[in-house]
Amino acid sequence: MGKRKKVHIGLFDGLFMLLAVGGFVCAIVGLFVPWMGGSALDGKVDGGSSALFSDELKTTVDAANIFESTIPLGLVQAFAIIAAVLAGLCAVGVVLKAFEVVRIKGLLPFLFAVATIVIGALVAVFSFTLGGNLSTELTSIFPVVGMYLCAVGTIVSGAAMLLKRG
């Protein structure tokens, strides 16, 4: 039997692992905490907040009757799920690379990391567009902490993989 090589995790490997896994955790948590919130412009009425997969948000979207000029809620939900999955795959890739289990180099990890960053940015753009289209003259609806956690967590995981791929 051959001797197994000891793996030494350096400072940068540990930092990239922490960023990638932390970004993945943020993306997952972002799916389940309040995603859209609203408040009246005059400050008298609080519209509350609702999670991405809640019936309250679906009711708000359905009541707004904005099917022609908005991004559908299902698209925002799909991109949020895709973002969380890609963040998880980036975290796994960074951890496996740090422990020298895999040696993937070249264009594939670069493209995967860039795609993850782009999907994270699209989650933010779609959420802001949906919130802007749901807003009326009396109520302002905008993305809150869930969207930020999901988008930023996905971008951080993709950036960690992008920087760790070498």
pLDDT at 165: 66
Host domain of residue 55 = 11-36+50-164
Tally of domains within the chain: 1
Residue from 119, 125, 144 nearest 50 by CA: 144
137 in a structural domain: yes
How many Å apart are CA 20 and CA 105, to the nearest integer? Answer: 18
Confidence check: pLDDT of 43 > 50 = no
Output the CA–CA distances (angstroms, integers) from residue 145 to 35, 63, 86, 106, 138, in the order listed: 6, 23, 20, 36, 22
Residue from 156, 161, 157 nearest 108 by CA: 161
141 in a structural domain: yes
Rounded mean pLDDT of 27-55? Answer: 74
| 20 close to 160: Cβ distance less than 8 angstroms | yes
User: For residue range 73-97, what is the model confidence (pLDDT) as tens digits?
Assistant: 889 999 999 999 999 999 999 999 8
Which are the contacts of 15, defined by CB distance < 8 A and separation ≥ 6? Answer: none
- Label residue 41 by pLDDT band (50, 70, 90): very low
How many Å apart are CA 150 and CA 155, to the nearest integer? Answer: 9
41 in a structural domain: no
> What share of the chain has pLDDT > 90, as a percent?
44
6 in a structural domain: no
Residues β-bridged to residue 48: 38
62 in a structural domain: yes
> What share of the chain has pLDDT > 70, as a percent?
86
5 in a structural domain: no
